[in-house]
C-alpha cells in the first residue's frame, strides 16, 4: 500500500530521499492521477504590484477524487456560496475523496466519534486504545455504538449544510425525508432535526435500559451510557436494536453520551437547548493571551439556554472557570466537563524574535564565513521549483538576514534580501514558470508547481505558505515599501487569507482554513479521507505560520494580525506540548511505548512520518524550521531531554542526518550539551535542506552564552524573549515601530528599545534550567499541578482542582472518582526512617459533612502495577469558606505492599471525598500543595 499512502500524504518530504522523484511518480501512476482537461483561457487578477490567475496552468490539476476525477465541494444549496474550511476534523463531509463513499469517513469530535451513512449518523465513544503498527501507533478508532436518523431514511449522500468555528451540521435527504444533526468538538450531545419519519436510534447490540421516563430514555450499549431525548409527550419504544419515537408534530430530538448513569438528571436539563453555533474570540495584551469559547443555543422546549462542554487538556490546564466532576476519555487525555455555554483560557504569550540576541559566544569572522557560503552559492535556492521546497529555501535565507545585520554584514544582509524579493516576485506574478491560481469552487489559492497534494488534495497550504509569509516579514523589517499593498503586500495577504483568515465574512476564503480552534492545532489533510480522521505531522511548520503572522503584523503595524499570530502560536504550543510530546505524561496510553509522536491523528498518534521510519526525522519533523518562533518549545525542558534520549535510543546513537536540527532543539534545554556536539563535528556535516551552518552556529553558540529560554518570564510585546544562565537573565525585544518604546517584563524588568531596532539587557534572576525533571537530582518533594501532575517545578501558577462528590455514600478508605496527580520515571532509594508526607489545602465552601481523603501509591518499576499503597484518614472539613490544611498528621488508615527502590517508577496521589454530597476544592501550584516521598 505504499504507493497509495504516498499520494494521500498530508506532508511527504520525499525529496529528502534520493529516490523521491521516482517514488512519487510511481505513486501518482498507481492511483491514476493525471492532468485534468485543459482549462479555459486564464485571466490575470491584479494584486498590488503582483497578480494571480483565476484558472490553473495548463496540464495541472485541482482537487480530485482518488481516481483523478475533478471534485467540487459537497454542500447544500444554503451553504453553496460559503467558503468551506477544508483541512478540518469534518472535511470529508464536504470533500468526496473516494468516489464510492458519498457520505464521510470517520470524524473525531471527542468525546464522540461519527461517520455518516445512508441511514443517518453513526455515533461512537471509543474508550479503550489499541496499539497498532508494531507498537508505533495508538488509536481510539471509531466504532459505532448506535446510528441516529429517521425511520426509513436512505439518503444517496450526505452534505455539509452549516458550520461554525468547531461545529458542523451534516444533511441527509432521500426525497421523502430530510435529516440534520449538529455535532462538534467537546459536545456530548447530538442535536437532531428531521422531517418525514419518526426518530430512530439503531444500536450496535441490544441495549440495556437503565432509565425509562417516557420521552427520556437511558440506555447502555457496549459499556457506554447514552440518554435519548424526544419532545415532551413522546415515548421511546425499544424493539431489539431499534429504538423509535414519534415526534408528535415536532422536528427535533437529541442524544447524549453520559459520563455515568447518575449524570442523567444534569444532562436532561440541557437536552433541548440546541447548539446553533460556536465562536472563539481572542485578545493579546500585556504579555497574556486570553481566548473565550462560546456556544450559541436555541431553546426547543422551555427556556434553558445553557449547555455542557467537554474541555480538552490544553484548555482546562489554562482555565480558572468552574468545572464539574464529570470527565470523558479521549485520545488527548482526560476531557473535563463545564456546565456553561462559555469558558475562557489564559496563557502567557510565547514570544517570537527575528533573531537570537547578540552575544559574546559568536565569533564574527567564523560566522561571516558561513554567511558567505550561502549568500555566494551558485544556486542559493538549491534547485527548488515547487511551493514547498521554494518555501524551505526562502526560510533558510530569511533566518540569516537579521543574523548578518546583527554582526554588521550589511552587504550580505542586503544581498540575501534581494534574493528573497526576486524569488517572491516571480511567484507573485501570474503567467511565469511559477504562479498562484485561485479556485472559485474551493475558494483557495494554490501555488503551481504544487507539491505533496497541495493542489489535488488541498493539503499543507499552511506549511508551504508559512515560509513565504515569514520571508516577507523579514523583508518588511528592512523595507516597508516592498510590503505596501500597492507593491507586494497584497499577494502576501492573499496567502494569509488562504491559510489563516481571521474574517468569518470574507467571501473569498474561509475562516482559519487549517487551524482547528477547539482542538488547539492545525490539520494538514484537505480532504480528511482516512479511517483515523485528519492528521498533522509537522506541527512546527504550523507554528512557523503563526510566528510569521506575529512578525509580519508587527512589521506592518497590523496589530490584529499580530495578535492572531500570538493566539494561534500560544494555543498550538500547548497542544504540541501535550499531544505530540506528552510533556506531562498524562496523554499517551500506558501501553504506548514512546515519549513522542511524529503525527497526531484524530484517533490518536503515531511514532512515524509519512515518508520514513528514521527516528531522526520522526523527532525532527516537529522541530523544523528552527526560528525565533521555536522558543516556545523551551517551556518543557524535561520533555526535550526525554525526546532527545528516545531519539538516540531508537537511532542507536546520536543524530547523523538531521543532527543540526536536533542540536538546536536540544539547546533549548541544555545549550552546553548541544554545543559539545557541534564542537565535536566542528562544522564538518551536511545541513538539513532548510538549514545552514551559519544559522546553526549562531543559534547554538548564542544560547550557550546567554542560556536557554526562560519561559517563566514574558514581555508585554510579543516580539520579546528572556534567557537565563547561572542566575543571570538576558532580556531582548525587537521594536518594529517608528518610535522608541519601553518593554516591561513580567518580573518587573524594563527595557528601552529604539525605533526599528533590537535591544538587549541583562539582570539577576533565572530559574532552574530543568525544573520539570524528576528524580534524585531534583529532590523528593513534588507540588500538585493542575492537570493531574506532580512536579518539582516551583514556577507554576496557583490554582485549584475540583474533587468530586461522594454522592451521599460512605467512601471511607476506597477512592471514588478521585482527583489524581502523578509523576513518572522517578528514581530513588528508600530513605532510612523516612515516611510519606503531604501538605494540602482543601475547602468545602459552605457544604456540610465533606471529608477529603488521600491515598499515595508507588509503582516501583513503572510497569503499571502499584507495589505499595498508603491510605490516610480523611479530613473533616468545616462549612466555612476558606482553605484548611490537611496533612499526613491525620494518620495512616491502611497500608498494602512494601517500599523498595524506585527504578523508572511512578508515584501517584489520589484525593477524593469520603463523605457527603458536595464537591470540594484542593489547591495546586503552591508550597501548600506538596507531597514528600521517603526517598533519596
Task: Give the span between the Cα atoms of 172 and 123, in whole angstroms.
Answer: 16
Q: With the CA atoms of 389, 392, 398 and 399 taken in that order, what torsion angle do they form, in degrees rounded to the nearest 10?
A: -160
**CA 538-543-548 angle, 5° bins:** 130
Cβ burial of 664 (10 Å; 0-12, 13-18, 19+) is buried
Task: Give the span between the Cα atoms of 709 and 687, in whole angstroms.
Answer: 24
DSSP state of 737: S
Say which of 122, 537, 574, 636 is annotated catalytic: 537
User: Cell numbers at residue 128, please?
Assistant: 479503550
Catalytic annotation on 122? no
HEC profile of 171-199: EEECCCCEEEEEEECCCCEEEEEEECCCE
Task: Give the span between the Cα atoms of 399 and 454, in whole angstroms.
Answer: 25
Task: Give the span between the Cα atoms of 580 and 588, in whole angstroms.
Answer: 9
Residues 6+ apart with CB under 8 A from 242: 200, 201, 202
Say which of 139, 145, 174, 541 is annotated catalytic: 541
Instruction: Report the relative pairing of strands 884-887 and 741-744 from DSSP bridges.
Output: unpaired
Neighbours of 510 (CB within 10 A): 23
Q: How many CA atoms lie within 13 A of 93 on its CB side?
A: 32
Whole-Å CA distances, 558 to 542, 552, 563: 21, 8, 9
Q: Are 36 and 61 in contact (CB under 8 A)?
A: yes
Cβ burial of 782 (10 Å; 0-12, 13-18, 19+) is buried
Q: Are 116 and 94 in contact (CB under 8 A)?
A: no
- Report residue 262: phi and psi, to 5°: -75, 0
Q: Is 304 helix (H, G, I), strand (E, B) or coil?
A: coil
Catalytic annotation on 666? no
Whole-Å CA distances, 858 to 812, 826, 895, 900, 902: 21, 10, 11, 9, 8
The 10 Å CB-count burial string (b at 16+, else e) for 487-507 is bbbbbbbbbbbbbbbbeeeee
DSSP states of 78-91: GGTTSPP--SSTTG
**CA 804-807-813 angle, 5° bins:** 75
User: Cell numbers at residue 806, please?
Assistant: 461522594
Q: Which residue has the cell 498528621?
A: 889
DSSP states of 841-877: EEE-TT-SS--EEEEEEEETTSSS---EEEEEPP---
Say which of 174, 405, 460, 843 is annotated catalytic: 460
Task: Give the span between the Cα atoms of 415 and 129, in whole angstroms.
Answer: 54
DSSP states of 211-262: EE-SSEEEEEETTEEEEEEPPTT---EEETTEEEE--TT--EEEEEEESSGG
Give me the helix-helix angle, 410-427 and 387-406, nearest 10°: 160
Q: What is the chain's length?
A: 936
Catalytic annotation on 636? no
Q: With the CA atoms of 894, 896, 902 and 908 taken in that order, what torsion angle do they form, in degrees rounded to the nearest 10?
A: -50
The 10 Å CB-count burial string (b at 16+, else e) for 319-341 is beeebbbbbbbbbbbbbbbbbeb
The answer to whether the Cα torsion of 630, 631, 636, 640 is positive or negative is positive
The 10 Å CB-count burial string (b at 16+, else e) for 594-626 is bbbbbbbbbbbbbbbbbbbebbbbbbbbbbbbb
* Active centre residues (catalytic): 460, 537, 541
Amino acid at each position: 500500500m505504499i504507493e497509495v499512502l504516498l499520494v494521500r500524504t498530508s506532508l511527504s518530504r520525499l525529496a529528502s530521499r534520493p529516490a523521491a522523484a521516482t517514488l512519487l511518480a510511481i505513486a501518482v501512476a498507481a492511483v491514476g492521477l493525471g492532468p485534468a482537461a485543459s482549462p479555459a483561457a486564464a485571466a490575470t487578477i491584479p494584486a498590488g504590484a503582483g497578480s494571480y490567475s483565476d484558472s490553473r496552468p495548463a496540464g495541472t490539476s485541482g482537487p480530485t477524487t482518488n481516481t483523478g476525477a475533478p471534485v467540487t465541494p459537497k454542500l447544500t444549496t444554503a451553504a453553496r456560496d460559503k467558503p468551506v474550511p477544508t483541512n478540518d476534523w469534518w472535511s470529508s463531509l464536504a470533500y468526496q475523496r473516494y468516489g464510492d463513499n458519498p457520505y464521510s469517513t470517520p470524524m473525531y469530535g471527542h468525546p464522540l466519534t461519527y461517520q455518516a451513512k445512508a441511514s443517518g449518523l453513526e455515533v461512537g465513544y471509543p474508550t479503550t486504545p489499541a496499539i497498532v503498527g508494531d507498537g508505533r501507533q495508538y488509536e481510539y478508532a471509531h466504532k459505532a455504538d448506535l446510528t441516529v436518523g429517521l425511520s426509513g431514511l436512505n439518503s444517496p449522500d450526505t452534505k455539509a449544510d452549516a458550520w461554525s468555528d468547531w461545529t458542523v451540521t451534516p444533511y441527509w435527504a432521500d426525497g421523502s425525508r430530510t435529516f440534520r444533526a449538529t455535532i462538534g468538538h467537546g459536545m456530548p450531545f447530538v442535536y437532531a432535526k428531521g422531517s418525514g419519519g419518526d426518530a430512530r436510534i439503531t444500536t450496535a447490540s441490544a441495549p440495556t435500559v437503565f432509565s425509562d421516563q417516557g420521552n427520556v430514555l437511558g440506555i447502555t450499549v457496549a459499556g457506554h451510557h447514552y440518554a435519548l431525548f424526544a419532545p415532551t409527550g413522546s415515548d421511546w419504544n425499544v424493539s431489539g436494536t431499534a429504538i423509535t419515537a414519534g415526534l408528535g408534530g415536532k422536528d427535533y430530538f437529541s442524544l447524549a453520551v453520559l459520563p455515568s448513569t447518575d449524570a442523567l438528571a444534569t444532562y436532561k436539563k440541557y437536552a433541548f437547548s440546541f447548539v446553533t453555533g460556536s465562536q472563539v474570540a481572542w485578545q493579546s495584551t500585556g504579555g497574556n493571551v486570553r481566548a473565550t469559547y462560546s456556544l450559541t443555543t436555541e431553546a426547543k422546549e422551555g427556556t434553558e439556554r445553557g449547555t455542557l462542554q467537554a474541555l480538552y487538556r490544553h484548555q482546562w490546564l489554562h482555565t480558572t472557570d468552574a468545572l464539574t466532576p464529570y470527565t470523558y476519555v479521549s485520545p488527548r487525555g482526560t476531557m473535563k466537563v463545564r456546565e456553561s455555554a462559555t469558558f475562557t483560557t489564559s496563557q502567557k504569550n510565547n514570544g517570537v524574535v527575528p533573531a537570537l540576541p547578540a552575544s559574546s559566544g559568536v565569533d564574527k569572522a567564523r560566522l561571516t564565513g558561513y554567511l558567505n557560503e550561502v549568500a555566494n552559492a551558485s544556486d542559493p535556492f538549491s534547485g527548488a521549483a515547487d511551493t514547498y521546497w521554494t518555501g524551505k529555501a526562502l526560510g533558510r535565507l530569511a533566518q540569516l538576514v537579521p543574523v548578518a545585520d546583527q554582526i554588521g554584514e550589511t552587504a550580505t544582509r542586503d544581498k540575501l534580501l534581494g534574493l528573497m524579493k526576486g524569488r517572491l516576485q516571480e511567484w507573485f506574478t501570474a503567467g511565469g514558470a511559477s504562479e498562484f491560481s485561485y479556485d472559485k469552487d474551493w475558494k483557495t489559492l494554490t501555488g503551481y508547481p504544487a507539491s505533496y497534494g497541495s493542489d489535488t488534495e488541498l493539503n499543507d497550504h499552511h506549511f508551504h505558505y508559512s515560509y513565504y509569509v515569514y520571508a516577507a516579514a523579514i523583508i518588511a523589517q528592512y523595507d516597508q515599501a516592498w510590503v505596501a499593498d500597492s507593491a507586494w503586500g497584497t499577494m502576501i495577504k492573499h496567502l494569509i487569507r488562504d491559510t489563516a483568515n481571521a474574517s468569518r465574512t470574507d467571501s473569498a476564503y474561509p475562516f482559519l482554513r487549517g487551524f482547528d480552534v477547539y482542538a488547539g492545532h492545525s490539520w494538514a489533510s484537505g480532504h480528511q479521507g482516512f479511517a483515523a480522521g485528519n492528521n498533522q505531522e509537522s506541527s512546527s511548520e504550523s507554528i512557523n505560520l503563526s510566528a510569521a503572522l506575529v512578525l509580519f503584523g508587527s512589521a506592518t503595524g497590523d496589530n490584529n494580525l499580530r495578535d492572531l499570530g500570538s493566539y494561534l502560536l500560544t494555543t498550538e504550543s500547548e497542544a504540541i506540548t501535550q499531544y505530540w510530546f506528552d510533556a506531562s505524561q498524562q496523554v499517551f496510553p500506558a501501553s504506548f511505548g514512546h515519549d513522542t509522536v511524529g503525527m497526531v491523528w484524530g484517533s490518536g498518534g503515531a511514532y512515524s512520518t509519512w515518508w520514513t521510519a528514521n527516528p531522526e526525522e520522526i523527532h525532527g519533523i516537529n522541530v523544523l524550521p528552527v526560528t525565533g518562533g521555536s522558543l516556545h518549545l523551551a517551556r518543557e525542558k524535561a520533555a526535550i531531554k526525554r525526546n532527545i534520549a528516545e531519539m538516540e535510543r531508537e537511532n542507536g546513537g546520536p543524530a547523523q542526518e538531521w543532527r543540526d536540527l536536533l542540536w538546536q532543539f536540544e539547546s533549548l534545554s541544555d545549550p552546553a550539551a548541544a554545543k559539545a556536539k557541534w564542537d565535536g563535528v566542528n562544522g564538518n556535516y551536511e545541513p538539513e535542506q532548510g538549514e545552514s551552518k551559519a544559522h546553526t552556529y549562531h543559534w547554538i553558540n548564542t544560547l550557550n552564552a546567554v542560556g536557554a529560554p526562560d519561559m517563566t518570564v514574558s514581555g508585554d510585546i510579543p516580539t520579546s524573549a528572556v534567557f537565563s544562565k547561572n542566575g543571570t537573565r538576558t532580556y531582548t525585544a525587537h521594536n518594529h515601530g517608528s518610535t522608541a518604546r519601553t518593554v516591561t517584563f513580567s518580573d518587573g524588568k524594563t527595557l528601552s528599545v529604539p525605533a526599528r531596532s533590537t535591544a538587549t539587557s541583562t539582570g539577576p534572576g533565572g530559574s532552574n534550567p530543568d525544573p520539570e525533571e524528576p528524580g534524585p537530582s531534583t529532590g523528593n518533594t513534588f507540588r500538585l499541578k493542575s492537570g493531574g501532575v506532580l512536579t518539582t517545578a516551583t514556577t507554576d501558577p496557583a490554582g485549584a482542582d475540583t474533587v468530586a462528590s461522594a454522592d451521599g455514600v460512605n467512601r471511607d478508605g476506597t477512592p471514588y472518582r478521585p482527583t489524581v496527580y502523578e509523576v513518572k520515571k522517578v528514581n530513588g532509594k528508600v530513605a532510612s526512617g523516612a515516611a510519606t508526607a503531604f501538605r494540602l489545602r482543601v475547602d468545602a465552601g459552605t457544604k456540610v459533612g465533606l471529608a477529603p481523603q488521600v491515598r499515595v501509591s508507588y509503582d516501583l518499576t513503572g510497569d503499571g502495577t502499584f507495589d505499595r499503597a498508603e491510605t490516610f484518614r480523611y479530613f473533616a472539613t468545616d462549612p466555612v469558606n476558606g482553605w484548611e490544611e490537611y496533612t499526613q498528621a491525620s494518620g495512616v488508615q491502611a497500608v498494602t505492599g512494601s517500599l523498595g527502590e524506585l527504578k523508572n517508577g511512578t508515584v501517584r496521589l489520589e484525593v477524593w471525598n469520603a463523605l457527603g454530597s458536595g464537591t470540594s476544592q484542593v489547591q495546586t501550584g503552591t508550597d501548600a500543595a506538596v507531597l514528600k516521598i521517603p526517598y533519596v
